[in-house]
Structure 1
């Protein structure tokens, strides 16, 4: 199950607090990784997903969905990391399903 419960950490940096949201993605769920990320950012930003920049302008959604899927022998992937920015939110996806979204800071 995808845990969309956010963990909100305040981190000092650049003179302004930064908000970090953490999620876990389960590849066995019917919702894709890309959909999980876009929905999470929309929830954090309190906007509709259609108000966000298109994901495909930053990363290929099909590649994102497949890169951390289990190997052909069903062995879970555990290594690797992808980072990109979507609508000013910094996204880090790890091979173990850990997703970190850093919200933009007000400067």
Structure 2
């Protein structure tokens, strides 16, 4: 179950619609697709292919453990996909925000 909140994203200044979710058992690209489909209330098959926005293999590999098994350093990737803003960080957390939400005042 996805938790909803109305906190302001420190990165974007937009209202967060979902808590970050980390699930390293699934590739990050798959997590993004499934979370966005849930957010926009559509089947993942109805979304445009993720590769039209970002390279899914590169996204999966960006924060993968090093060859020695160590975690990657801090960082994050932000992009828009299917009307949502996506934030993926080095811990594997995926945050999905509706791109058209207004900033809190």
Question: With structure 1 as the length reference, what TM-score do the two structures score?
Answer: 0.77
RMSD: 2.2
Partner Cα distance (1:106, 1:23) in 2: 17
Specify which structure has the bigger relative contact order, considering alpha-carbon pairs within 8 angstroms and separated by 6 or more residues.
2
- Report how many aligned residue pairs link the two structures: 97
SS across alignment from 1:105: coil
Unpaired runs of 5+ residues, structure 1, are 12-16
The correspondence of residues 91-102 of structure 1 with structure 2, limited to 5 A, is 91-102=86-97
SS across alignment from 1:21: coil
Q: Which residue of 1 aligns with 2:55?
A: 60
Q: Which residue of 1 aligns with 2:17?
A: 20
Question: With structure 2 as the length reference, what TM-score do the two structures score?
Answer: 0.78
Q: Which residue of 2 aligns with 1:35?
A: 30
Partner Cα distance (2:16, 2:40) in 1: 11
Picking from 69, 73, 87, the partner of 2:82 is 87
Q: More strand per residue: 1 or 2?
A: 1
Q: Runs of 4+ in structure 1 displaced over 3 angstroms? A: none
